[in-house]
Structure 1
Amino acid sequence: MFTSTIFRGVGRAVIRASALRSSPNTFNRAAFGAATRSFSVTSSARKDEKGEHGEYEKMLTGAKPGAAGDHEGSFSRTDKRIQVEYPEEADYPRGQPVQGRGGFHFKRTLASFSLEDKVAVVTGGARGLGLVMSQACVVSGADVAIVDLNKEEGERQAQLIMQTFKDENPGADLIPKVTAHYADVSDPESVKGTMAEIVESHGKVDHLVTSAGFTENFDAIQYPIDRVRKLWSVNVDGTYLWACEVAKHLMERKASGNIVMIGSMSGAIVNVPQPQAPYNAAKAAVRHLASSLAVEWAHAGIRVNVISPGYMLTALTKKILDENPELHRKWVSLIPQGKMGRPEDLMGAVTFLLSDAAEYITGADLRVDGGYTIT
């Protein structure tokens, strides 16, 4: 008896590759619904299973016997026609602090989630995911040093974050200290100098969030090697250099601390339809770097973890999707929750991993992806 018990093992792949396949560029809702309704399959669907190519095979492939068309597997392929370059500084859209997430409240929660009396460094903290996580640290009680290639934007955001905190916490005695610092995260001397500047300003560093990074979309064969090297140096070298600098500082102080590296679900899966092989490899490197350093620095009380976001609607992503609406439709069709994430969905995740609430968690990869990587 061929039952749905067996079919569950292949059902998801079948629905994605076959029921959604009507066109590489069209989401066939009717076919998806039919495939879902057909989830329970019995032997009656295989009446001619003794033949070389039976009805059951047709149901799985949707193709004539032995003649798979171009549409087969199209939803799991990259498309080399998609090409997106990371924008220049002047073209990067500005973000704003999240409203309504203010600090003091009277709902019960674990005291161990607090980041009071801590100093957190957030690289790439002037925009995108880094900006929201900078604010999360402030809301949770920490002082923050924003590190960014664009110091002017960093200073602007530092002022906005502090003003937002004041507006949402009138009469607060303690106002968080948020500073902005320039650094080229891929340059060891720049990282070292900026770290010294932060320590002079804040007195210490307890936590690090490595959010500096970027992605581009090029067919691998056509990707300019100088851009590949730049991508790798920012995403991987920058993460490694800052982690080492902060770990060294903590060890010299004989203090415990936490490092959260911002990876990506791309470090575990291959995104489609946009081609981005170097970025995927870079984020896989970040994920394993975190695991390795978690082991290496555990003796010093330094925890190292990774947050791997899925598709997030940052200001830059919104700009890209406004110009490529078909890309948005394809992405969302593969997310079980049926929607893209908001940058503020990372606020709880980063606060948790930096806080004492995660004291026994190190080397972990926390995926915030709406379920994308489990289907």
Structure 2
Amino acid sequence: MATRIAARHSGILRNALCRPGPIARSMSTAPPPPGPPKTLPSFSMQGKVCMVTGAARGLGYEFCRAFVSSGCTSLAILDLKEDEANAAATELLTFARATNSNVDPSSVKIIGVECDVSSERSVQKAYEDVMSAYGRVDSVVASAGIVENYSAFDYPFDRIKRLYDINVHGAFFTAREAARNMIPQGGGSIVLVSSMSANIVNIPQPQTPYNASKAAVKHMAASLAVEWAKKGVRVNVLSPGYMLTKLTKTILAHDTELRTTWERLTPMGKMGEPEDLAGAIVFLSSDASSFMTGSEIRVDGGYCII
């Protein structure tokens, strides 16, 4: 009896092994047709008007590339010098038309706008230009900022004032004008670019005013988020760690010991690439984060957790 049962089970097993199951059938199917990888529709920036300050170079420029890669075809590049903003806009226009090959090239519109974020009137004028060009603004990133390394005793007052005018007042002017234009249209997303320095004290370089300015930006975002939450305007913070921008690469080329120190203090053992911020900036600026406001995303290789 046991022998017959074993034989019957053996036959079932052989049939099961020989018969193509779901896995075997799926492995034999033809590969999917070529095309763009699928993702959640809420991450798309298609149909949104985006604006980025400090966007002619550095992280601001990379944020613009991320928006374009996510389908944005209406973009405003704000920077201190008009010619540099226009040059960046031209480069990004070429990139946009190549990236969004399925989009009518004539529908892609990227403009450069002169803007000194430390001047309230200059920021207001920039928004007037953007609204005139597009009629609305959906996602704004306040990326303009500077950093300097002086000891507290040696820091010239005029340079401290300039740093706060750009990093703190500039972020406030940018966010306030964004909300003034977003509230009548039903809402929008504002991202203030802070820094991991809002949470830790960097070493070995001294940069007290910078750290304090970024802490101010972080808390500013939380405060504005509460103030505008029921008006449809979300305000969040992106805080990068040590990133290999063109500027930092130039600095570290002459100070390899500093780079070694920064990498040693970062749990991941390396500095970030500007592209590492693309996912975070698109998430915060898109509908994918629609129930998120007053929050901070740190992209720092783990620096702040130790």
After TM superposition, the score normalised by the length of structure 1 is: 0.71
Q: Which residue of 2 aligns with 1:226?
A: 158
Task: Give the alignment of 1:131-142 within 5 angstroms.
Answer: 131-142=61-72
Report the Cα distance in structure 2 between the residues aligned to 1:274 and 1:268, rounded to whole angstroms.
Answer: 16
Specify the alignment match of 1:80 in structure 2: none
- Of 221, 242, 257, which residue of structure 2 is paired with 1:311? 242
Q: Which moved more, 1:134-143 or 1:310-319?
A: 134-143
CA distances 1:276-302 after superposition (whole Å, capped 9, x unpaired): 000000000000000000100001011
Looking at structure 1, the residues matched to 69 and 243 of structure 2 have their Cα atoms a distance apart, in angstroms, of 21
Give the number of equivalent residue pairs. Answer: 271
SS at match of 1:221: coil
Question: Is 1:121 matched with 2:121?
Answer: no
Name the % identity.
Answer: 48
Paired with 1:304 and 1:234, the residues of 2 have a C-alpha distance of: 19
1:165 matched to which residue of 2? 96
Match of 2:283 in 1: 352
Give the Å deviation of 1:169.
4.2
**Unmatched runs of 5 consecutive residues or more in structure 1:** 1-103
- TM-score (normalizing by structure 2): 0.86
TM-superposed CA distance for 1:315, in Å, is 0.4
**Per-residue deviation at 1:171?**
5.5
Q: Distance in 1 between matches of 2:89 and 2:297?
A: 27
- For 1:364, give the aligned amino acid: S
TM alignment of 1:1-375, pairs within 5 A: 105-142=35-72, 143-170=74-101, 172-174=103-105, 175-253=107-185, 255-375=186-306
Task: Map Cα deviations across residues 185-231 of structure 1 (whole Å, 9 max, x no partner).
Answer: 01111111111011101111111100000100000110000000000
The one-letter amino acid paired with 2:167 is N
Aligned residues: CA RMSD: 1.3
Tell me if the contact between 1:141 and 1:176 (Cα under 8 Å) persists in the aligned partners: no
Rg comparison, structure with higher value: 2
Per the alignment, residue 9 of structure 1 pairs with: none
Structure 1 residue 240: deviation in Å?
0.2
Q: Secondary structure at the match of 1:307?
A: strand
Q: Distance in 1 between matches of 2:116 and 2:110?
A: 19
> For 1:210-267, what per-residue CA distance to the aligned partner results, in whole angstroms no more than 9, with x for missing partners?
00001000001100000000000100000000100010111233x1100000000000
Contact 2:69 2:100 in 1 (8 A): no
> How far apart are the structure 2 equivalents of 1:285 and 1:105?
44
